[in-house]
Amino acid sequence: MSGRKSAGNAAKRIVKDALFAAIALVIFVVEAQIPPLVPIPGVKLGLANIVTVWVLMRVGAKDAFGVMLTRVVIGGIFSGRIVFSLAGGLFSFLAVLILKRFITDRQIFVAGVVGAIFHNAGQLAAAVVIYRSPSVLVYAPVLVLSAVATGLLTGLTAQFLAQRLRVPGE
Amino acid sequence: MIKTRTWIIIIAVIAAVAAAAAIAVRFFLPAGTTAEIVKDGKVLYRIDLDRVTEEYKIEIGDEDGDRNTVTVRPGMIAVTAADCPDKICVAAGWASGERPYPIVCMPHRLTVRITSGDAGADAEAR
């Protein structure tokens, strides 16, 4: 019986994580329709980050990793920039995973900021190392500034969601 | 646990340092009038913008079907058309000796940058 129960839990988990990944993807695709506000590569709202941060804080690290990876791979197929998304996604995931030990439920906004900064850092690293375009480093300070602003927005959203929204099915 | 106020101060300091660096970067940009069109880390064209007398266009394409049109005018250079999804390179506008910020088309791995190097004999060398 316990085998059936754990199989049921595994199925439940897959369904939930797939749902979160789908939500993140919809947000990602809708955001991609907004024309760039600033002509600097890498400056964007990163609203899908809300989902990853919320899943990491409320559901679990493995779930968040799966959601992030699914979002990045499928989103990369849509946008054609999978290498950048992957570098940014992995960098920010690792950074926020480490940060998680140092923040409380009222400090989730910090995870948004740190995630956004490291997302841009990962993308810059990919641009320099893989595409050999060191010129983009000129925009590094601006990218940090924009990451602080957008990270506060997505981080606070994730924090309010975490305070008000219960994990479905629990 | 670290206090919320401490986190806010840390974030504010990061933002302040980034803002200062964003302004400081301007002073470290190369002073020059030579433009380089770089694709995949290779310099395709090197153009002395001061020696350009009339406007012309360069088509940059690759085997993936990625296309960018670079327009060269006396003293300035810009990406004026592209088939990338975000068109950030086109929105970036003109680069010149006075405004030497690089123009980047990340999806196509293309950079147009101003350098202090002399275009010299290989001006427009492929």
Average pLDDT over residues A106-114: 96
pLDDT at B123: 46
Q: How confident is the model at residue A25 (pLDDT cuts 50, 70, 90)?
A: very high
> Is the pLDDT confidence value at B119 over 80?
no
pLDDT at A153: 96
Residues of chain A found within 8 Å of residue B104, distances taken between Cβ atoms:
41, 127, 133, 135-136, 139
- Smallest CA-to-CA distance from B12 within A48, B4, A157 is with B4
What phi and psi values does residue A60 have, to the nearest 5 degrees? 165, 160
Q: How confident is the model at residue B87 (pLDDT cuts 50, 70, 90)?
A: confident
Distance CA A165, CA A25 (A): 20
Distance CA B18, CA A111 (A): 18
Instruction: Please give the residue of chain A at the shortest CA–CA distance from B64.
Output: A80
Q: How confident is the model at residue A168 (pLDDT cuts 50, 70, 90)?
A: low
Shortest Cα–Cα distance, B113 to chain A (Å): 7
Instruction: Please give the residue of chain B at the shortest CA–CA distance from A130.
Output: B40
> Could you tell me if A28 lies within 8 Å of chain B, comparing CB atoms?
no
Q: What is the ipTM score, two decimals? A: 0.85
Asked if residue A71 lies in contact with residue A53, where contact means CB atoms within 8 angstroms, the answer is no
Give me the residue from A39, A133, A148 closest to B15, CB to CB: A148
Distance CA B103, CA B82 (A): 12
Distance CA B54, CA A22 (A): 52
- How do residues A72-105 score in pLDDT, each as one tens digit? 999 888 776 788 889 999 999 999 999 999 999 9
What tokens does A17 get? 């994580």
Q: Are strands B110-115 and B34-39 parallel, antiparallel or unpaired?
A: antiparallel
Q: Which of A62-76, A112-126, B105-119 has the lowest mean pLDDT?
A: B105-119
Instruction: Please give the residue of chain B at the shortest CA–CA distance from A31.
Output: B86
Domain ranges of chain B: 1-29, 31-122
Determine, for residues B106 and A113 on separate chains, whether the beta-carbon distance falls below 8 Å. no
> Could you tell me if A113 lies within 8 Å of chain B, comparing CB atoms?
yes
Q: What percent of chain B has pLDDT above 70?
A: 93
pLDDT at B69: 95
Per the prediction, chain A carries an average pLDDT of 90
Q: What CATH number should be reported for the domain whose range is B31-122? A: 2.60.320.10
Q: Which of B56-60, B88-92, B119-123 has the lowest mean pLDDT?
A: B119-123
> Is the pLDDT confidence value at B126 over 70?
no
Reported in sequence order, the residue ranges of B31-109 that DSSP labels E, i.e. its strands, are: 34-39, 42-48, 56-61, 67-73, 76-82, 94-96, 103-105
Q: Cα separations (Å) of A33 from A36, A149, A150, B68, B112?
A: 9, 20, 17, 21, 26
Q: With the CA atoms of A97, A99, A100 and A106 taken in that order, what torsion angle do they form, in degrees rounded to the nearest 10?
A: -140
pLDDT at B65: 83
pLDDT at A1: 47
Q: What percent of chain A has pLDDT above 90?
A: 66
Rounded to the nearest 5 degrees, what angle is found at the Cα of A52, between the Cα atoms of A92 and A40?
Answer: 55
Q: Which of A10-14, A79-83, B87-91, B101-105 has the lowest mean pLDDT?
A: A79-83
Helix (H, G, I), strand (E, B) or coil at A49: helix
- How do residues B47-67 score in pLDDT, each as one tens digit? 999 999 999 999 998 888 889
Asked if residue A58 lies in contact with residue A162, where contact means CB atoms within 8 angstroms, the answer is yes
Which residues of B have a CB under 8 Å from any CB of A? 1-2, 4, 7, 11, 14-15, 18-22, 24-25, 29, 38, 40-41, 85-89, 91-93, 101-102, 104, 106-107, 109, 111, 113
Average pLDDT over residues A52-80: 90
- How do residues B3-40 score in pLDDT, each as one tens digit? 999 999 999 999 999 999 999 998 888 888 899 999 98
- Smallest CA-to-CA distance from A108 within A43, A156, A60 is with A156
Longest Cα separation, chain A: 60
Give me the residue from B11, B29, B85 closest to A138, CB to CB: B29
* Architecture of the domain made up of A2-164: Orthogonal Bundle (1.10)
Q: How confident is the model at residue A5 (pLDDT cuts 50, 70, 90)?
A: low
Determine, for residues B106 and A42 on separate chains, whether the beta-carbon distance falls below 8 Å. yes
Q: Cα separations (Å) of A101 from A109, B61, B76?
A: 14, 48, 51
**Exposed (0-12), middle (13-18) or buried (19+): which is B126, by Cβ within 10 Å?**
exposed
Residues of chain B found within 8 Å of residue A110, distances taken between Cβ atoms:
7, 11
Instruction: Please give the residue of chain B at the shortest CA–CA distance from A32.
Output: B86
